[in-house]
Structure 1
């Protein structure tokens, strides 16, 4: 068994370390985090405006007025998440290449807007439609434009950094104020970069798609989001997370850095539908992954494990690990139990560590597919939010909290026999050590 683990561990750790050190994935992860405080604000206002039974509590008229007053907050934050992602990529890419990050972010945003259609189709109440020009469709600043934004931001940032590194810049005398000097230094790189994007816009006007947004959405984003929203892909992601963690690598960060673009696009689609009052399209979203996996005590859903260690184990060591890990575990931070039990490289508990999350993901997925539990609304709920509350907020229903309790029970059932066996072994080992110490003292 140990030889098999050793052979499997080396290539997996090497692969995981390469992914975690990949600059592109690191930049993308940091860019998504840029929008976090903004989306939290938008989520809070959206939750208040759509609080369950609000119309019955304060009346339909008052609820509609409250919704109208708070609505712009979520639109200005969550609905234009691609804008923040573009800014983040431009900023962090430029930081990595040691060029001025503010101009990198501004140029990336300008490049994205430049290839975005500046017209939208407006449906008339009397029937028919009319094309309105000189406007940006907010959907293209959110879910529908996510992949264009990411690809375009990386390209724009690379062009800006490359031309700057080539010293294709205007140098100003030292007496010129720094702000003016930096502006002139960015002039040529900005013009060259935006010229490339203008050319891209012109070229796509002569294609069947008419613009790069519809091309990327049809050829890249739609197939990827369709694949990423499937149960099979989700279970594969969960298996990878658990496997990486077992070998001591932060599986959540590694896998999320690859799949976050897909999960975030699915989330924004649900948010758009929720705000419009239409049927939510996606079961698997970023909130599905976070609230119904990480939200049950951290990666591996270990809250039930911590409770079992703290209150049902006889071994003093295991009890201490459980009680020390419990406060953090209530807020879904489980490094104390992962490295304290330990779970890392512990073949005794590898089976429940991998199987329990997979079973729970299937339970939640099919419960949502059968509409026993509402789908996640796209509202951003911090992953540190305690169990039950997080489920209710993510689905805007009490069923979301109940299904988390079902998950907690499933984890307990899966883990209990293995923990009891480990507990008995630990007690026996401790008794044997004490016996050896007594014999040594008598001698």
Structure 2
């Protein structure tokens, strides 16, 4: 089957599904909600890179490096680290606005409902909200909360459970009082949910979600089958808006770090390295090629084949951060989350690369990770070189990996680009008629 027929087949299979999903108002609100947060995410991503430039800690004194990071960290802490809040507001706003209501009330009621469900205690200190709960870790609950909050609010508004103000009252005041009862009833529902979960062993909704998701991961180990499962889970969680690395790494990091230290001790002693899968195997040869999903190769693909303005702009915006393995701009800008057109390459490419790298190391073509902890913002090629004990083969296998990712993504990028391009041409044609 030639490329043209293969792409036609993909279009026939995927495009009808994508069209139905794109017309779903919840998925549309989800996509638009992420776009609301995108400028803030990009801003935070840039300063994550600047604050963690590779080897800067070696060039500056410890005090100077700490002061440098402390000066820049608020930029990402106020945007990227609490991105869940912006996404929740965006989803709730767009969902209510799409139904013809006052979007701002959909946004704020969704945010308030989420905060009611969020633990407000850190260790022994009450009245404090943990940052992790309102960042990428809290996205899954945040998305569900925004959907529920906006729909319940609309339910009460549609039934006219509102306070009517007399004529002559300013419009802003009328709208505010009109939203009072729907908002109060919606938030009361969230309060009931929090109280009910407080009566369970999980205590909070967050604990329930993470317990249910993390417990199955505890059976994973450090072999290739476990690694494939771990990589698939990372990708799958990200697809649904959960920070896959945080979820999977929280369980597997103790195993991966132990294997890493065994390799480091053997490397320092001049002995044969015992392990292939280590912390650096994941961080350098999977995640370390542009971020989760190895999206640096996807960005390169966009530059090579993109015709649509949207794809080109996503590539330009994502490239600087992607070089340093920060890929939130492309994850939320392409988008990847909840986008059925990219599910196959998003899941497949990292698995194929993991298998290729594993067997390349098992066969001796590429040295095993030496146990050296390479800063995660180190650009590809340099990171591969350092992680394998300054071996050029480490950089070479990263180049091979990027080619693999590019060729897996290529037909899907072509389909997306064609869809965006045709939509832009249609919009330009309509604009010219006006």
- Same fold, judged at TM 0.5 (above): yes
**Superposed displacement of residue 133, structure 1:** 1.0
Partner residue in 1 for 2:239? 260
Matching residue of 1:244: none
| 1:168 counterpart = 2:161 | yes
Residue number in structure 2 paired with 1:288: 292
Once residues 376 and 270 of structure 1 are traced to their aligned partners in structure 2, the CA distance between those partners, rounded to angstroms, is 19
What's the TM-score once normalised by structure 2's chain length? Answer: 0.60
Residue equivalent to 1:132: 125
Per the alignment, do residues 93 and 330 of structure 1 end up closer, same or farther by CA in structure 2, a change over 3 Å counting?
closer
Residue 293 (structure 1) shift: 4.0
Q: Post-superposition shift, 1:233?
A: 9.2
Structure-2 residue corresponding to 1:15:
17
**Which of the numbers 77, 81, 84 marks the counterpart of 2:83?**
81
User: In 2 relative to 1, CA 116–104 (structure 1 residues): closer, same or farther, beyond 3 Å?
Assistant: same
Decide whether the 8 Å contact of 1:292 with 1:364 is kept in 2.
no
Query: Do 2:297 and 2:403's aligned partners in 1 also have CA atoms closer than 8 Å?
Result: no
Any residues of structure 2 matched to 1:350-389 within 5 Å, and which? 362-363=352-353, 367=357, 371=369, 377=376
Gapped regions of structure 2 (runs ≥ 5): 221-225, 258-278, 319-343, 362-367, 388-393, 409-434
Aligned to 1:406: 400
Mind listing any 5+ residue stretches in structure 1 that lack a counterpart?
A: 122-130, 239-255, 307-320, 334-353, 380-387, 415-443
2:42 maps to which of 40, 57, 63: 40
The partner residue of 1:155 within 144, 148, 151 is 148
Cα distance in 1, alignment partners of residues 142 and 174 from structure 2: 29
Secondary structure at the aligned position of 1:161 is classed as helix
TM-score, normalising length: structure 1: 0.59
2:179 is paired with a residue whose SS is helix
Distance 1:367 1:138 in 2: 35
Any idea what SS the aligned residue of 2:122 has?
strand
Structure-2 separation of matches of 1:413 and 1:213? 38
Q: Which residue of 2 aligns with 1:213?
A: 206
The 8 Å contact of residues 164 and 178 in structure 2, kept in 1 or not, is answered as yes
CA RMSD after TM alignment: 4.9
* Inter-CA distance 155–413: structure 2 relative to 1 (3 Å threshold): closer
Other-structure match for 2:196: 203
Which has the larger Rg? 1
State how far apart, in whole Å, the 2-side matches of 1:23 and 1:156 are. 15
2 CA distance for matches of 1:106 and 1:332? 29
Q: What's 1:192 paired with?
A: 185
CA distance in 2, matches of 1:329, 1:108: 28
Match of 1:438 in 2: none
The answer to whether the Cα contact below 8 Å between 1:104 and 1:160 also exists between their aligned partners in 2 is yes
Query: Does the CA contact (< 8 Å) of 1:79 and 1:272 recur in 2?
Result: no
